[in-house]
Each structure stands twice: as structure tokens, then as C-alpha cells.
């Protein structure tokens, strides 16, 4: 593998994760795309670099600590190092609050909170050991305002990710590792299109102060900025990309 720095993007097989992986690759990173849908991860990696030198897919379920440990060691073998982790994998559900079952609650929390937290531990330890690293956690507007189109379990999980971002940022700051969050409002992504419905998109967009859905490629640029070596003094932050839906 030949890129100067390597980034791992969880949930990079679709949606915003794919856009983030594409942008990081354009910015010169080797990209390890880890997704529970290993075929989707391979497909995105294949589009970025058919030779597999600077992009590679991995079938990984972020709920499993052993799978994340295995991912770290495989990426180190394949790319020779790792410098950036983007915790993007998530389960997005819009079930009405009082109808959320225990199984669905456990599932959303296990992927969104458990996956992010454990990956921060495993990759954070490696980054701390090497004295450099960048972690970017995908939070959500829902974690800040309680959610609108999405469910209460999803919103709660995203709030937990914002707290975890601060906890890991404080712990890892003296070791050359920054940990930040990006908090998108509704983006023009397959997930938003399916939750809102194609026929409602225009009226939905008109409820956003800037009058349009966000652009996933810009979320990718935001992640790339936080992932860059130059972003050394930003840590424990949450950068909002919400079209003015939530001002603070």
C-alpha cells in the first residue's frame, strides 16, 4: 500500500460513509472501508482503486470488539499504518418512541454507542502509542435537539456519542490524538430520502432555514479537515452541518 496516511471509515459502504471515504481518498489517504456489508465495502473500495493499493474493503460488525481488534491488525498489515478513524457506522431507526422494543433499543445502542466507543478505545490506544491520531465521530442533530424525523433511541445514541467524544478527547489530547464529532442535520442521502419519502423531499427541505438538504460531499470535506494534521488544536469539538436547524 502506498498512500502517506491511512484512514478507517466504518459504515463506508453506503451513504455519508461512502462520501467520506471518497473525499478522504481524494485528499490522498489510503482508505480502509469497514462495513457489516462487506460486499458494499468492497464495491466502494473497488471504485476508488481497482488495484486495491489505496483502498480496501473489510466486512466488520462494529458491535463486536474482536472484529474491531481484527480490523486494526489487518489494516496495519495491509497499509503499514493507520492514522485516522471515522466512526460513521450507525443504525438509523424512526420507530415511534413508545413502540421501541428492547431488542431494537439494544441493537441501535450496540451499533451506534457500543461500536463508536469500542473503536475509540481500540484505535485510540494504538494512536496514543504511536503519538498521533485523528478520530472523527459521526453524531447527529438528533443528539442535540432530541430528533425530529428519527427515533428516540437513535437520538439518545447520538447524544451518547457527543459525550464519548469529549471523554476520549480529554483522555487522548496529551498523546497527540484528537477526537471530534460532526453533527449533521438532514443530508441528501439515501437514508434521508427513504425516511422522508421522495414525494415529501421538497416540502421537507423548505422547513430547513437554508432551504436545502446538506451535501454529503461537504460532510466528507468537514471530516477531512478535522482528520488533517493541521487540525491539531481542535479536539472535543462538535462541528454542526445542519442548515441552521439548531443554533447554539
Task: Cell 469529549: give the residue.
Answer: 166
In the complex with ligand NAD, the residue whose CB is nearer, 132 or 218, is: 218
φ, ψ (nearest 5 deg) of residue 13: -85, -10
Give the separation between CA 51 and CA 42, rounded to whole angstroms. Answer: 12
Q: Compose the 1-40 pattern: x for residues touching ligand NAD by CB under 6 A, - for all others.
A: ---------xx-xxxxx-----------------xxx--x
Q: How would you class 205 by CB atoms within 10 Å of its CB: exposed for 0-12, middle for 13-18, buried for 19 or more? A: middle
The CA dihedral of 215, 216, 221, 223, to the nearest 10 degrees, is 130
Nearer to ligand NAD, 211 or 229 (CB): 211
Block residue for cell numbers 457500543: 114
Catalytic residue list: 154
Q: Interface residues for ligand NAD in 201-240 (CB under 6 A)?
A: none
Q: Which of 54, 144, 178, 187 touches ligand NAD (CB under 6 A)?
A: 187
Q: Which of 62, 72, 108, 224 binds ligand NAD (CB under 6 A)?
A: 62
H-run or E-run covering 69: helix 65-79
Closest CA to 19 of 223, 162, 201: 223
Candidate ranges 83-91, 122-130, 204-212, 226-234; the one touching ligand NAD (CB under 6 A): 83-91
Q: Which residues in 123-152 contact ligand NAD (CB under 6 A)?
A: 138, 140
Cβ closer to ligand NAD: 190 or 244? Answer: 190
Site for ligand NAD in 91-110 (CB under 6 A): 91-92
Q: How far is the CB of 42 from ligand NAD (least distance, A)?
A: 12
Give the helix/strand (H/E) hosting 182.
strand 177-184
Query: What letter would DSSP give residue 213?
Result: -
Residues within the interface to ligand NAD (CB under 6 A): 10-11, 13-17, 35-37, 40, 60-63, 88-92, 111, 115, 138, 140, 184, 186-187, 189-192
Amino acid at each position: 500500500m502506498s498512500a502517506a496516511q491511512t484512514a478507517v471509515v466504518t459504515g463506508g459502504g453506503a451513504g455519508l460513509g461512502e462520501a467520506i471515504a471518497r473525499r478522504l481518498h481524494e485528499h490522498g489517504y489510503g482508505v480502509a472501508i469497514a462495513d457489516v456489508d462487506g460486499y458494499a465495502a468492497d464495491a466502494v473500495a473497488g471504485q476508488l482503486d481497482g488495484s486495491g493499493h489505496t483502498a480496501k474493503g473489510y466486512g466488520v460488525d462494529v458491535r463486536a470488539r474482536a472484529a474491531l481488534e481484527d480490523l486494526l491488525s489487518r489494516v496495519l498489515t495491509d497499509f503499514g499504518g493507520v492514522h485516522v478513524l471515522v466512526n460513521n457506522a450507525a443504525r438509523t431507526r424512526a420507530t415511534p418512541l413508545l413502540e421501541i422494543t428492547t431488542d431494537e433499543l439494544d441493537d441501535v445502542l450496540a451499533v451506534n454507542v457500543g461500536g463508536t466507543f469500542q473503536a475509540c478505545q481500540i484505535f485510540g490506544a494504538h494512536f496514543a502509542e504511536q503519538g498521533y491520531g485523528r478520530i472523527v465521530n459521526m453524531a447527529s442533530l438528533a443528539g442535540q435537539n432530541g430528533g425530529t424525523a428519527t427515533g428516540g433511541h437513535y437520538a439518545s445514541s447520538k447524544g451518547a456519542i457527543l459525550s464519548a467524544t469529549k471523554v476520549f478527547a480529554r483522555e487522548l489530547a496529551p498523546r497527540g490524538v484528537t477526537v471530534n464529532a460532526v453533527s449533521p442535520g438532514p443530508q441528501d442521502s439515501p437514508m434521508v430520502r427513504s425516511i422522508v419519502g421522495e414525494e415529501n423531499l421538497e416540502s421537507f427541505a423548505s422547513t430547513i432555514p437554508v432551504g436545502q438538504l446538506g451535501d454529503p460531499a461537504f460532510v466528507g470535506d468537514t471530516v477531512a479537515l478535522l482528520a488533517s494534521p493541521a487540525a491539531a488544536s481542535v479536539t472535543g469539538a462538535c462541528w454542526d452541518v445542519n442548515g441552521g436547524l439548531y443554533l447554539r
